[in-house]
């Protein structure tokens, strides 16, 4: 399908890339600041302000690391799927968020999502060992679902690196991301059914019975800190990817001034 | 549209009949892999009985993975896939026909010979029957999901391994329900729950996979 | 201290990996910016053969 006026289209694509780059440049330091403040506050509260449980000592504090990691791993996947879907939807339409840029944002999110998924498993294992005696338990449906989510992130990252042409890679990975999105509830449901099948009931290692208000707000603060970190890191990666992909275009000359030395 | 689908199914069928060795070697692969589990775990009947549902279903999934490349590879190489894409009928219909034919040629025979594999584990009659039904009900989902992954890895270097990496996490629900159904049958209870979930997965897979795989094919054939 | 080691292990790996991710990204960004500044200067050396630090 031919697009009309290729010259004009590429000029507006340049503008959009430039605008996106400028947005990222301005936003990233803010996100780092927010991440630093909320991170320091959250860690202080998690490690010192919340009182320890008489029985379990300090180990329960892992919850302030594990839950943010799990929530981020899922939230990042949702964002990735949103940008992938928007990239596919807006491909032939004039929308404010360009199709290419949406795909680049989606691929900028993937490694961070995989990292948080791994951290969720890691902190879960380190919570499980003192609490339940083994590094890995199969009867926690959420933990098993996180493992499968890690496999899905691995598939997305592998497919992107396997397809040479960036545009084709974008679209293929976008399709895969959306298929994976549909499967996440299916996988979670099937794993939960599987745990009830094998022991008659389903319990979760990772959900504490009740949370005192102080603990709850500390948890939210830690989640917020991770979200700010994610935004800072993903937007930095977004900027890097933009430069790598469109290095030969015109807009970087306006964005990055020449300097001496 | 229906005639076109029948045409595709018949064509796939005829092509598969000309290459009967392919299907037989896949079925033999299934039997061989199932025999690896007892060889690896020891001959005690109790152990085998516990292993059986998971081992049988995992072997079926691995055999399915091996059967997937033939869905699109040959047609892609000789240009028939492009003909489908450029034709007047929708590509999704062709994909649906291919998935249906794939199930008839691979999934159904696998389900029918599964009792032979199950006997290696000393399964009694009722679980063997549930095994066959679960495989028959679950392999359409495997074909559907596999078609999407095969479409996404069309023509890639190292595509086979990547295909497995993409497909296996998506296969896990089918494995869980299929093996779970056989397990409940072994425990003496009714396997209805697992089987109905399997059927639901297969219906959803067969209904939604063709458009998704067709979209993926168009992307990869550009 | 016995059981606290798990908490510390969880925290340290998380901190280290997140710091590593940020460090690698910022390093990549710096090298890309250097490359583009050279291009903007029209430097004869930057004929596009240089690749940013991986």
Is there a contact between A197 and B219 if contact means CB atoms under 8 Å apart? no
Per-residue pLDDT, A212: 74
- Per the structure, the count of domains in chain C is 1
Dist CA A179 CA B214 (whole Å) = 13
Could you report the per-residue pLDDT of B147-199, keeping only the tens digit for each?
999 999 998 988 899 999 999 999 999 999 999 999 999 988 888 888 999 99
Asked whether residue A225 is domain-assigned, the answer is yes
Asked whether residue A119 is domain-assigned, the answer is yes
Average pLDDT, chain A: 84
List chains touching C (3+ CB pairs under 8 A).
A
Per-residue pLDDT, C48: 55
Structural domain boundaries, residue C18: 1-54
Region of residue A158 (left: phi > 0; alpha: psi -120 to 50; beta: else): alpha
- Name the residue with tokens 């994610």: A230
Asked whether residue A5 is domain-assigned, the answer is no
B and C touching (3 or more beta-carbon pairs closer than 8 Å): no
At residue A2, does pLDDT exceed 60?
no
Per-residue pLDDT, A71: 94
Q: Is A133 on the interface with C (CB under 8 A)?
A: no
At residue A181, does pLDDT exceed 50?
yes
- Per the structure, the count of domains in chain A is 1
Which portions of chain B are predicted below pLDDT 50?
A: none
Could you report the per-residue pLDDT of C1-54, keeping only the tens digit for each?
577 888 889 999 999 999 999 999 999 999 998 888 887 777 545 455 555 565
Asked whether residue A261 is domain-assigned, the answer is no
Question: Angle at Cα B74 formed by Cα B73 and Cα B80, nearest 5°?
Answer: 105
At residue A207, does pLDDT exceed 60?
no
Asked whether residue A103 is domain-assigned, the answer is yes
Structural domain boundaries, residue A54: 18-251
Asked whether residue A39 is domain-assigned, the answer is yes
Residue ranges of the domains in chain B?
Answer: 2-220
Residue of A nearest to B175 (CA): A190
Centre a 10 Å sphere on the Cβ of residue A75 and count the other Cβ atoms it contains. Answer: 18
Which residues numbered 11-50 in C keep a CB inside 8 Å of some CB on A? 11, 13-14, 17-18, 21-22, 25-26, 28-29, 32-33, 35-37, 39-42, 48
């Amino acid at each position: 399908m031919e697009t009309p006026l290729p010259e004009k289209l590429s000029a507006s694509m340049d503008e959009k890339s430039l605008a996106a780059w400028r947005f990222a440049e301005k936003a990233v330091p803010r996100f780092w600041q927010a991440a630093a403040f909320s991170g320091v506050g959250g860690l202080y509260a998690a490690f010192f302000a919340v009182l320890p449980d008489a029985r379990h000592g300090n180990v329960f504090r892992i919850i302030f690391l594990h839950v943010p990691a799990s929530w981020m791993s899922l939230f990042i996947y949702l964002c990735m799927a949103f940008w992938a879907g928007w990239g596919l939807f807006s491909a032939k339409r004039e929308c404010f968020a360009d199709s290419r840029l949406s795909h680049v944002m989606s691929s900028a999110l993937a490694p961070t999502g995989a990292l948080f998924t791994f951290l969720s498993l890691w902190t879960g294992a380190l919570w499980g060992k003192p609490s339940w005696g083994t590094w890995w338990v199969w009867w926690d449906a959420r933990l098993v679902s996180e493992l499968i989510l890690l496999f899905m992130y691995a598939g997305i990252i592998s497919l992107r690196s396997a397809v040479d042409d960036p545009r084709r890679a974008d679209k293929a990975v976008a399709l895969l991301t959306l298929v994976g999105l549909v499967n996440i509830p299916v996988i979670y449901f099937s794993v939960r059914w599987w745990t009830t099948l094998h022991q008659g009931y389903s319990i979760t290692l990772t959900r504490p019975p009740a949370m005192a208000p102080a603990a709850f707000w500390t948890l939210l603060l830690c989640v917020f800190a991770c979200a700010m970190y994610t935004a800072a890191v993903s937007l930095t990666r977004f900027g890097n990817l933009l430069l790598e992909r469109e290095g030969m275009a015109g807009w970087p000359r306006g964005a990055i001034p020449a300097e001496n030395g | 549209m229906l005639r076109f689908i029948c045409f595709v199914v018949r064509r796939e069928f005829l092509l598969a009949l000309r290459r009967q060795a392919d299907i037989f070697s896949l079925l033999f692969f299934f039997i061989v892999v199932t025999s690896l589990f007892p060889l690896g775990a020891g001959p005690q009947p109790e152990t085998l009985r516990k292993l059986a549902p998971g081992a049988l279903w995992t072997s079926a999934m691995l055999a399915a993975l091996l059967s997937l490349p033939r869905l699109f590879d040959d047609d892609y190489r000789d240009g028939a896939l492009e003909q489908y894409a450029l034709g007047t009928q929708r590509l999704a219909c062709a994909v649906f026909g291919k998935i249906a034919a794939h199930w008839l040629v691979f999934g159904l025979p696998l389900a029918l010979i599964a009792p032979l594999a199950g006997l290696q584990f000393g399964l009694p009659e009722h679980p063997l029957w549930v095994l066959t039904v679960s495989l028959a009900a679950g392999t359409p989902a495997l074909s559907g999901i596999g078609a999407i992954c095969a479409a996404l890895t069309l023509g890639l270097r190292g595509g086979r391994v990547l295909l497995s990496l993409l497909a296996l996490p998506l296969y896990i629900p089918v494995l869980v329900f299929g093996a779970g159904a056989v397990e409940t049958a072994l425990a003496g209870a009714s396997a209805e729950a697992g089987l109905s979930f399997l059927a639901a997965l297969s219906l959803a897979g067969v209904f939604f996979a063709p458009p998704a795989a067709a979209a993926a094919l168009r992307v990869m054939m550009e | 201290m016995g059981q606290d080691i798990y908490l510390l292990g969880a925290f340290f790996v998380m901190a280290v990996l997140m710091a590593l991710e940020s460090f690698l990204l910022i390093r990549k960004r710096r090298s890309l910016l250097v490359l583009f500044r050279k291009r903007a200067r029209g430097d004869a050396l930057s004929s596009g053969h240089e690749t940013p630090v991986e």
